[in-house]
Amino acid sequence: MRRRTFITLLGGAAAWPLAARAQQTDGTARIGVLSPLSASETTSAPFEAFRKALRDLGYIEGRSINFIYRWADGNHERLAEFAADLANSKVDVIFSAPGTPTAIAARNATTVIPIVFAGAGDVLATGLVESLARPAGNATGLVNESQDLAGKQLELLIEAVPTVSQVGVFWRPSNPSYKNLRSRFDAVVRATG
């Protein structure tokens, strides 16, 4: 799928609940943006693409939609507080990006407000969605399936460098989606000896 098409679809996924709920209010939808990044990311390419997709769908910032940003500035411990703040402020939808901890914080803050996440990994094991085909609940979004490739990457490394005897893996234990990453590497190590 082409990137532009995908971004438009993501914007559409966020816009669908807005259309339904905005009719019940003053016509101005409120999008809560929850991010572990800093406010400087407001003008980054991914956030610009998100806003452009919404503009392409007719949602104009300051007229038909307003963004309420909560930036954690790299402090993941604040995500839960900021997610609760967005939920309490009765935003129409929460856009959480990037990462699994961000999406989990949003999901833990509300079971009613629609959540669109981007870049979350292992959404089944972390309970963000019930299934990839039918997410159910109030959360949906873009899943980062790169962890499914982790074992294959190690297999390719072993094939390319058969004499390799040790491999280091960088991972963040505080991110629940990384738990399966280590088990995937361990499985390849056991299978290849």
Tens digits of per-residue pLDDT, 19-64?
A: 444 444 567 899 999 999 998 888 888 888 888 998 999 999 899 9
CA 118 to chain centre: 3
What's the whole-model pTM score? Answer: 0.70
**Which domains occur in the chain, in start order?**
3-144 (3.40.50.2300), 147-192 (no CATH)
Q: Which pLDDT band holds residue 8 (cuts at 50, 70, 90)? A: very low
